[in-house]
Amino acid sequence: MCAMRNQSLRAHLTQRLPKKILRLLRQVGALADKQGVALYLVGGVVRDLLLKRENWDLDLTVEGDGIAFARLVADRYRAGLAVFERFATARLAFPDGLKMDIATTRRESYAQPALLPTVQPASIEEDLSRRDFTINAVAMQLNSLQFGRLLDPYGGQRDLGARMIRVLHAGSFQDDPTRIFRAIRFEQRFGFRLERATVRLLAQAAATNLIQQLSGPRLKNEILLLCAEHDPVRAIARLGQLKLLRFLHRRLCYTKNVKRMVAAVPKALVWWARRFPDSAIDRPIVYLMALSSESGPAVVATMIRRLALSREQAKRVNTGGRRVDYALKRLTDKGTARPSQAYRLLADFSDEVLVLLLAKQVSKQQRVGLNLLKRRLVAYMKNRTIKTALTGRDLQAMGLEPGPEYKTILEKLLDARIDGIITTEADERALAYRLLKKSILVDRIS
Ligand code: ATP
């Protein structure tokens, strides 16, 4: 993209904004005039305006007291407001659903590499100088007279044109190693290249133990964001190429099979979404499971701890191991004939694990097994909505004393329902009586 003249650039930037947002930005710009503060739209949203990509994450920054200004805007528009004093930022939620972040222009100093910086108010130029890459160190002024004026002190437009990711200074990755992952994220998302000195600096930083010093939640955030990109397969391959996967665990097995499996995830996700649109999948977790699919349980457990995954996420990732292989073997075997057998193999798995199962089979490139598995997954998703008419209370009423038999009998009833052997409540009762009378249960019913 050639650097545009200021006037046509203003028109370009403002025309790209949806009318509703443009109106709001002009209004808050006028409010900033009244308050005597300079106001800017800043960072990724401006980058994406220049790239003609949709992104309405409205990041605003005020040369002055950002929080006070945010309060004013919140009052004026009856927007919800959350204030983060430590970072001099506030988040607004407008009644129509629009979100906006308002910050104070600031300088950051890193007392220690890889830790969060301390912040002090500063000019917009200084604020831009603390940003990660030239393409993100851009701002658009919102005050009425200067509305649409682009601030680009580090050649962000030039680098967008050259399709390049470039850090602003040599210590950038050291200050904040999350930028290593951000660099890959933007590189892959836009199909850009890392500028030559930037690659060298990134490799240098990656060769140290800086990333180890990142807190679990910060590392997790970056990894999950990468895995949430439109094409995580390329981003993960790039992590592998740059030897960054060792920061998940130094013994993570990134074998050919794992690569094939990661590469198969998008296909599995597409099939799943088409078949089961109501099942919302935590996609990054599926990639993480695929990535750790050939690593032992101890490695996976340590990775889960390192990434500070939530209990729910950890549970999902944890089930990815051997049980998946066993289930897959049985489910791609014609001998596993009864629907209830398939049900029992799958019942403990989260939907993410089911997608993983599918991805694993896709990666094996065996059509017959894959078709069989798909049919069984479809049947399973239907069967798992089936419930027994009888409950534990009914069994109690039949005279069964409390004990583990409750579960066994209810499971047998459900299996029989799933297999179509019984269809009505009366059938269930009859079967329950037969089961109750059998073997050891006989002396426990009154
Ligand atoms: P995305 O499109 O993925 O949301 P973004 O560029 O909008 O990307 P955010 O994480 O929302 O990224 O951050 C907004 C802006 O804040 C960035 O454009 C960048 O200017 C700045 N920024 C974010 N993270 C960092 C960082 N680690 N170091 C320096 N600047 C950062």
Q: What does CATH list as the number for 2-162?
A: 3.30.460.10
- Is the pLDDT score of 413 beyond 80? yes
Each residue's pLDDT tens digit, 341-352 = 999 999 989 999
pLDDT for the residue 5:
59
- Is the pLDDT score of 370 beyond 70? yes
For ligand 1, what atom is nearest to the CA of residue 132? 29
Q: How far is CA 150 from CA 123, 140, 147, 280, 325, in A?
A: 15, 5, 9, 40, 55
Domain 248-385 architecture: Orthogonal Bundle (1.10)
| Tokens 């069984």, residue located | 376
Q: What proportion of the chain, given as a percentage, has pLDDT over 70?
A: 95
Round the average pLDDT of the chain to a whole number and report it.
90
**Stretch 2-23: mean pLDDT:** 76
Strand partners, 140: 41, 150
- Is the pLDDT score of 318 beyond 80? no
Q: Is 157 in the pocket of ligand 1 (CB under 6 A)?
A: no
Q: What is the dihedral of CA 435, 437, 441, 443, to 10 degrees?
A: 170
Identify which of 61, 108, 136 to mutate to test ligand 1's pocket (most ligand atoms within 8 A of the CB): 136
Identify which of 131, 134, 176, 198 to mutate to test ligand 1's pocket (most ligand atoms within 8 A of the CB): 131
Q: Is 136 in the pocket of ligand 1 (CB under 6 A)?
A: yes
Each residue's pLDDT tens digit, 226-256 = 999 999 999 999 999 999 998 988 888 899 9
Q: Is 178 in the pocket of ligand 1 (CB under 6 A)?
A: yes
Structure tokens at 160: 């967008």
Q: Is 43 in the pocket of ligand 1 (CB under 6 A)?
A: yes
> Any idea where the domains of the chain sit in the sequence?
2-162, 165-247, 248-385, 392-445
pLDDT for the residue 210:
86
pLDDT for the residue 320:
59
Domain 165-247, what fold?
Hydrophobic Seed Protein (1.10.110)
Q: Is the pTM of this model over 0.85?
A: yes
- Which range is least confidently modeled, 152-156, 203-207, 261-265, 320-324? 320-324
- Cβ(290)–Cβ(359) under 8 Å? yes
